[in-house]
Amino acid sequence: MTPDASPDASKDDFFARLAGISDEMIAAHGPDFAMGALVLAARFIASRKGGEPGAPPSPTAAH
């Protein structure tokens, strides 16, 4: 993100990238795989303490 880019534009870029990789996963392995992979990614993010980059896993997170 450039210094003068808005946070909304940055978020839009990430959503576009997620859509693209989702389409690739669906094409290669089907929608069940794509949804499962995205759910696992969401669980990984949720297991991080505070969701901050580089934060250690939460001790209460289920694995």
Radius of gyration of the chain (CA): 15
Q: Is 48 helix (H, G, I), strand (E, B) or coil?
A: strand
Given this model, what pLDDT does residue 59 score?
Answer: 60
Given this model, what pLDDT does residue 13 score?
Answer: 97
57: which strand partners? 48
First to last CA, the chain: 33
Given this model, what pLDDT does residue 50 score?
Answer: 65
Q: What is the pLDDT of residues 6-63, one digit of tens each?
A: 889 999 999 999 999 999 999 999 999 999 999 999 999 999 866 566 666 666 555 5
> Whole-structure pTM over 0.95, yes or no?
no
Both tokens of residue 33? 């795989």
Q: Which residues contact 56 (CB under 8 A, 6 or more apart)?
A: 48, 49
